[in-house]
Structure 1
């Protein structure tokens, strides 16, 4: 099985390359320092599976995952990160990742999970699964989960078009949902909505 390792920490890349390379059925064909490099290497290396970090310069792991799955749908992607917050987990899975492992996993476990993913299983670290089942993010009072996601992205400064792409909705749906949210919360505009969100989620 051909692996591509993507992480902006070269030490992490080299360590994984060395340790996973010792597994007889795993071959690390290359390493990349960001999502853009991973995208470019996909065509040349044709990996079976990518171990993808999330936070990286130029193009992050979630953006890269979404693009790679569009261009090379047969390539499987396992997020390998220190982040286990619900938002990153859901964004990664929505982007097309088939697995989500934490860097705290042992090499033995990592190799087993890579094989399980290749065999067709969706792989989620136990702590990640717990985060999804028992999310730590509070839904804003009076709003649904999806409405809260939209407010979160508005607060990050995303446009309706960008929110639509992130959540796989139409721009019209986002616009309508935003109107509903503003009515529910009795808030005038996006700026006030962003302030409302930050005041309640960053106490």
Structure 2
């Protein structure tokens, strides 16, 4: 039996691309499309899909709000957010609204197709970077930065290189790198810029 899918995205070209990508699969059937959250509510009510692929940033009603309203009316539907955004606030809003999954638009085709199938089975599907950040938030890992790690992160925010930070804090450059790796792990990020951005978003560092 085919998985019935509705695709929601406010960019027609993007929406057509997603529909075309799913259309090649025998077990997936795109039964409707919507260009914003309000339209999505009508399409879901009319088509009774198994899975909704939901964009986040849309006019009239955004994806997180639409997800909450879809699931309030149709609790059996699985909503998978498919977006270019992965800020902590976006992720949390979508998950709190009841989304079964959160994927990024650069997800490889085969992964997206399998994620739709998995969501239809009731499984949670998360982009790896999103999963790391959710785990970090649930654990409260960001609160566990040591005093030294906070000093290193603050120096990074000021634009210091590893060598400059080491000289400022009287530690070796290798030690600076070790602290940075621990900071990246605790914040669920992969680079210095994201570490500073996430730390500011979460109030660990003051806004510049």
Equivalent position of 1:17 in the other structure: 19
Equivalent position of 1:3 in the other structure: 5
TM-score by length of 1: 0.67
Paired with 1:45 and 1:64, the residues of 2 have a C-alpha distance of: 16
Counterpart among 119, 127, 130 of residue 129 in structure 2: 127
Equivalent position of 2:117 in the other structure: 115
Counterpart among 36, 52, 55 of residue 53 in structure 1: 55
Equivalent position of 1:32 in the other structure: 34
Superposition misfits of 4+ residues, deviation over 3 angstroms: none
Aligned-partner SS, 1:202: coil
Paired with 2:20 and 2:58, the residues of 1 have a C-alpha distance of: 21
Instruction: Return closer, same or farther for 1:22/1:70 CA change in 2, 3 Å cut-off.
Output: same
Question: Unpaired runs of 5+ in structure 1?
Answer: 140-196
Equivalent position of 1:70 in the other structure: 72
Query: How far does the alpha carbon of each residue in 1:129-186 deviate from its partner, in whole angstroms, 9 at most, with x for none?
Result: 1122345x977xxxxxxxxxxxxxxxxxxxxxxxxxxxxxxxxxxxxxxxxxxxxxxx
Aligned-partner SS, 2:5: strand
Paired with 1:133 and 1:96, the residues of 2 have a C-alpha distance of: 17
Paired with 1:201 and 1:92, the residues of 2 have a C-alpha distance of: 26
Equivalent position of 2:207 in the other structure: 202
Equivalent position of 2:85 in the other structure: 83
Shift of residue 20 of structure 1?
0.5
Check conservation: 2:136, 2:142, Cα contact below 8 A.
no
Paired with 1:52 and 1:201, the residues of 2 have a C-alpha distance of: 33
Instruction: Return closer, same or farther for 1:61/1:201 CA change in 2, 3 Å cut-off.
Output: farther
Question: Unpaired runs of 5+ in structure 2?
Answer: 144-201
| Structure number, greater radius of gyration | 2
Shift of residue 201 of structure 1?
5.1
Shift of residue 42 of structure 1?
1.1
TM-score by length of 2: 0.65
